[in-house]
Amino acid sequence: MAVENSKVLIIVNNWGIEETELTRPLRDLRDAGAQVTLAATTMDPCETVQHDRYEGEKLTPDALMGDVKADDFDLLVVPGGTCNVDRVRVNPDAIRLAQEFAAAGKPIATICHGAWLLVNADLIEGKTAAPCRYIAADIENAGGHYVDEQVHVDEGHGWKLISSRKPDDLDYFVGAIKRALA
């Protein structure tokens, strides 16, 4: 498989997504030739924010989260944004998707608060992740190991976890996603 032949799924709530944590993977992977689907909880515009606080860009979702399945994709991306992931992590469709990707041995890429979904999906135990420091205790309490790195790739337990801390790490994060798809 190559990046240009890959199918990537990005899942979000419709508001509170950290702008660059959504737009950079979405656009960089599309520019590299990947088919990227943005799936949200509703078909309303996805309202992003900058630094969890300031209004950001609005994007139109391609699909409903409840209508997509892991079988149709090669990699899952979960962007951050505190409010976004606080709702995604309790969404049954998001939990199902994360579990399906892991069960199929497909990579999951999370940035910032995105790894919270893996805690609720019971997927973080035994994994090492580099999310934002604000959820380090959640990772550790769920049986995972927290590291403070620009990007960390964990290939244990039959599936690859790519994780990064914050928007400043996006070059490393997107680079690791591209390498996983190559």
Catalytic site residue 112? yes
Query: Which is catalytic among the residues 46, 112, 132, 152?
Result: 112
Query: Which is catalytic among the residues 46, 113, 132, 152?
Result: 113
Identify which of 86, 71, 54, 76 has the alpha carbon closest to the alpha carbon of residue 10.
76
CA atoms 124, 128, 134, 138: torsion sign: positive
CA distance 180 to 74: 10
CA distance 81 to 78: 10
**φ, ψ (nearest 5 deg) of residue 104:** -85, 0
Q: Catalytic residue numbers?
A: 112-113
